[in-house]
Amino acid sequence: MVTPMINSSHTLEGTDIEIGADDPLHEEGGLAFARYGFVEHISHFSGIAVSVLYLVAAGATLWEVVARYVFNAPTQWAFEVVMVLCAASWMISSGYVTLKQRHIGITVFHVMASDRVRWWLDLFANLVGVIALFLLLSDATVRAYTAIGNVERTGSAFNSPMPMVLKSLLVLGGFLYLAQLTMNLHRQFKSPAWRLAVKALGGLMVFYFVVALLGHYAGPDSLFGSLQAFFSSIAAALDPSQALDARSYDLGTVSLVMVVLLVLLMMTGMPLGIVTLIVSALMAVAFFGPRGLYLVSTNAAGLLSHYTLVAIPFFVLMASILERAGIAEDLFDAMSIFAGNLRGGVAVQTVVVAVILAAMSGVMGGEIVMLGLVALPQMFRLGYDRKLTIGLICASGALATLIPPSIIMIVYGLSAEVGIGDLFMAGAIPGVMLAVFYALYVLLRVNLNPKLAPTAREVEAMTGKSNKLSRARMNAVLLCIALIAAVMGSIYAGIASVTEAAAVGCIGAMVVAAVRHEMKWPVVQAALLGSMTTVGTIIWLILGAISFVGIFNLVGGGDFMRSLFLDLGLPAMGVILVMMTILIVLGTFMEWIAIVFITVPVFAPVVMTLAPELGLTEDQAKIWFGVLFVMNIQIYFLSPPFGPACFWLKSVTPKDVSLQEIFISVIPFIGLQILGLILVMMFPQIALWLPEVLN
């Protein structure tokens, strides 16, 4: 049995989605380039320019690995240079992401609303976004000016001014975001009077920030210092903290208000980063007055120095290059020889390819799209049952959430303060276990009902082609195995950090593309732009979420929620089940990254407290719960009616495949996912065995 080779450039370029690019759940803005104004041009070209920085950062990280292990001369500059390069791309891409309307939001109710209601929701979202960013920048600018005046340095051997640069980049990114959001608000109005009002608002904000800048350096006795004092007196007069006396309320009421406000704003469809940012800013002002904004800006600036986050753009870039290089087609063709004369062999082959792709990318959406483009038409053509095929591809593509390197695990590790390498090792066996479940389920079904799938001989009779493993296919398999071994092996062996291994993966993906003769500028450009856009949306969401969690914990909300769980009177496993139920409910209407930053800071300490009752250490409990968390998120990705995996697959399926058919098809595989979740819950060593052995 051999499957026909597919021209990847034609197949993938003909679609509207790629890894790290379009998301079918969130429509992209349609402003034509010819209609760009001054601000739009800055947003557009600055985004394109900074996308290249990821490649430079990957090269610098790779050089650090080479210098350390080959020349035994580790650099003193690589860490700080890479942090600055990535932070620059994260922040400066904000204008581009806003221009293209790519920020992540819960659009379930937004898309169901009438055009008029949707217009009002968009207006509300833009206004709230302008207010949130203004509040952030009103304090962040002061911190940046102070850092520049003091030339704040790291104090390391290299002693670069990284803190100063990072605070300055936060301000620059905030201004780009605010400027583009104001332009979006301006274009939303058709009335000249309202457009003039938006221009006046923009002019007033420019005046305020210019006065703040000149007043900071000219001193309090200058004209600008007097104007700055005037603005400060207005802020003091509007200070709501004394009137509200928020500290007099009990923690339950405060927590309820914050969570309800958060959920209500999310339901409007506005970007989740703005939602968490405005709630954290409002609560900071309500509790501490205008000076409370310092807490928001410092939390946001602190995020930019998290080295673990650098792994996200590297893994996304690696996945994007591999996708554009057409490696999925090579894998699918190469794996065909291993199916033998097995009934349902192509289905098993698809699961194997999905596992390999997951181990190379860590990005679920792109993997489902690649399988949908490569495997789905082939299995349909060979007479595989439609529902079995659709469900298998959705479930197999979702393995990228669990099999390392998983982007979700990186974000969970950052939030729960647990080692990313340990999480990666813990997710490997449960991921492979689910893949085996899928393959066994398919084999059982097709052998009970042979009409559901053909054998290799039947396929050969239909296609007229024999099964041969060409040198090209063998090279594809060997290169993929080598890339996985280089990335994951360096992490598991403790040779390189997760970030360094991700950089190795980036360069390795380019080597694979070059061997496949796909290392062309359009491929690299598409990968860089897609990665810049995807990571830009994630970073601003994390930035808002970090600020929210910081304020929530500071006012006592975290302690209250933890005590609430511990006082339920349930055994430890009962509390875990309650948490899993909450995650399932949140997954019906909330993005996974929002779920991570809202729940993990509350859940993880509770799980650590319950660790002795569960027979685990605190570190084991956090790792085990992380795997349970990711498996739960995987179920959410498939679950109707809002399962993102179903929408991603729908974006590349033939027109006769309906969403309803996809939803029905994934139900048996959701059952298998739940079975896997229960097994890991009952037998923690399924997740913990590999980390303990390798450590």
pLDDT in tens, 208-257: 999 999 998 888 888 888 998 888 888 888 888 877 877 788 877 888 88
Residue type at position 212:
A
Angstrom distance (rounded) from CA 90 to CA 58: 15
Q: If you search the block for the tokens 């390069």, which residue do you land on? A: 85
pLDDT reading at 171 higher than 60:
yes
What's the pLDDT score for residue 461? 65
CA atoms within 13 A on the CB side of 453: 26
pLDDT recorded at residue 340:
55
The enclosing H or E element of 120 equals helix 115-150
Q: Read off the pLDDT of residues 138-158 as tens digits, 9 standing for 90 and up.
A: 999 999 999 999 999 988 888
For residue 105, give the DSSP letter. Answer: B
- What was the pLDDT predicted at 459? 62
Q: Are 597 and 545 in contact (CB under 8 A)?
A: yes
pLDDT at 15 over 70: no
- The two three-digit tokens of residue 569, written as one number: 């009177």
Q: What are phi and psi of 657, to 5 degrees?
A: -90, 115
Cα-Cα-Cα-Cα dihedral sign, residues 314, 317, 321, 322:
positive
> In the chain, pLDDT over 90 holds for what percent of residues?
29
pLDDT tens-place string over residues 49-81: 999 999 999 999 989 888 888 888 888 898 899
pLDDT at position 473 is 59
17-26, 75-84, 327-336: lowest mean pLDDT where? Answer: 17-26
Higher pLDDT, 393 or 463: 393
Three-state SS for 432?
helix
Q: What is the mean pLDDT of residues 633-638?
A: 86
Least confident range of 48-52, 97-101, 359-363, 369-373: 359-363
Residues 6+ apart with CB under 8 A from 273: 103, 104, 537, 540, 541, 542, 543, 544, 545
For residues 506 and 325, give the distance between their C-alpha atoms in angstroms, rounded to a whole number: 13
Q: CA separation (Å) from 154 to 47, 56, 142, 168, 179?
A: 28, 22, 19, 15, 31
Q: Is the pLDDT of residue 183 over 70?
A: yes
The pLDDT of residue 65 is: 86
CB 672 within 8 A of CB 398: no
Calpha distance 231→209 (Å, rounded): 11
pLDDT at position 299 is: 87
Query: Mean pLDDT lowest for which of 125-139, 390-404, 480-494?
Result: 480-494
Res 10: pLDDT? 37
pLDDT score of 470: 60
pLDDT (mean) for 71-92: 91
Average pLDDT for residues 296-319, to the nearest whole number?
86
Q: Is residue 341's pLDDT more than 70?
A: no
pLDDT exceeds cutoff 70 at 98? yes
* More confident call, 496 vs 180: 180
Residue 167: per-residue pLDDT: 94
Smallest Cα–Cα separation from 509: which of 58, 180, 49, 39?
Answer: 58
User: pLDDT averaged over the chain?
Assistant: 83
Model confidence at 440, pLDDT cuts 50, 70, 90, reads very high
Task: Pick the range with the lowest mean pLDDT from 16-25, 40-49, 522-531, 678-687.
Answer: 16-25
Looking at residues 461-485, what average pLDDT do you find?
66
What's the rounded Cα separation, in Å, for the pair 375 and 353? Answer: 10
Whether the Cβ atoms of residue 552 and residue 71 lie closer than 8 Å to each other: no
Residue 27 pLDDT grade (very low, low, confident, very high; cuts 50, 70, 90): very low
